[in-house]
Amino acid sequence: MNLQHNVQETESGMRIDQLLSSFDEIVSREQAQRLLKSGNVLINGKIELAPSRKIRAGQEVQFTIPPQESANLLPEQGTMEILYEDSHLIVINKAAGVVMHPSVGHYSGTLVNYLMHHCQDLSGIGGVLRPGIVHRLDKNTSGVLVVAKTDVTHLHLSKQFKQHTVKRQYQALVWGVPEKKHGVVNASLGRHPVRRMDMSIIENDAQEESESKKRKNAVTHWRVLQRFEFAALLACRLETGRTHQIRVHLTSIGHPIIGDPQYGKSPFKRLSCISAELSQTITNFRRQALHAELLGFIHPSSGEWLEFKAQFPDDFQNLLIEMQRAEAIL
């Protein structure tokens, strides 16, 4: 696919990868950067490799989206709860512990492998290692996600995610009880300056310029569903969908997610009021207590608004039951 665009006055000063990712044919900033690094982008007829290159009004940008390459991916049979399926897409309740897609050197045991076993056709826009993948859930987060079977469907769904019109709601069990009934965390996220595998809140005046340029706006709305003596069940609605967004945002307001080994310290060992049953349940819960309970979007073909809800998995439900037995404060 070959495309051409003349830079407008309103686009002057933008990064080239930012411009490219604004087109419907390019689903993410990462895909735009891959196109640049592979020599598939021209500015005024010259190959541009730098994602940070600033563009100017009047320049001609040409880019080529190459056909999908082959990869050593094999279909594998695995447990996969399907909530809805038609010729355009599949909606899945992903189990905790399942990795979304293969990575270099790790080509098996992922959701993509299971999808390939289930159906022959998946969209190729996400790249050879991510067929059908429109959005992602962390490995140890359970819940609803949508997968595209065709490129047209993938582009339509990706546009909805870009425009923040998709409805996404999560439930999280967190340490501590918020004083307010609801709130909003509006804090940009970026890579942690030291722990590069972690995300962190990026303050405008507290980070070096190179880091602040990489920050991404992130907004999480939360409300309390149930209060316990030392914990709470929250509903979290996303305006944006950044990596680890809910986990970092809740930690930033002093309420890290129970079981999350990466963000925030657990007060578990300091609590003397926990029953033996609850103590054992928390000890055995070896992931973040975060569940993507609801996903809503416009169907790319019919134009109908669809919403899907996934019940808590057994481990989350058992943890919640033990919390409730420990005398919930309503």
Residues annotated as catalytic (active site), given as ranges: 138
Amino acid (1-letter code) at residue 318: N
User: Which residue's entry shows tokens 């310029």?
Assistant: 209
Closest CA to 89 of 295, 244, 243: 295
With tokens 């469907």, the residue in question is 153
**Residues 291, 174: contact at Cβ < 8 Å?**
no
Shortest CA distance to 257 belongs to which of 131, 146, 137, 172? 172
- Its sign, for the CA torsion 320, 322, 323, 329, is positive
The whole-angstrom separation of Cα 167 and Cα 295 is 5
* Cα 293 from chain centroid (whole Å): 14
Do residues 95 and 142 touch, judged by C-beta distance below 8 A? yes
Rounded to whole angstroms, the Cα distance separating 250 from 257 reads: 7
Burial of 156 (0-12, 13-18, 19+ CB in 10 A): buried
Q: What gap in Å lies between CA 220 and CA 247, rounded to an integer? A: 10
State which amino acid sits at residue 223.
Answer: R
Locate the DSSP E strands across 59-166: 60-64, 81-85, 89-94, 142-148
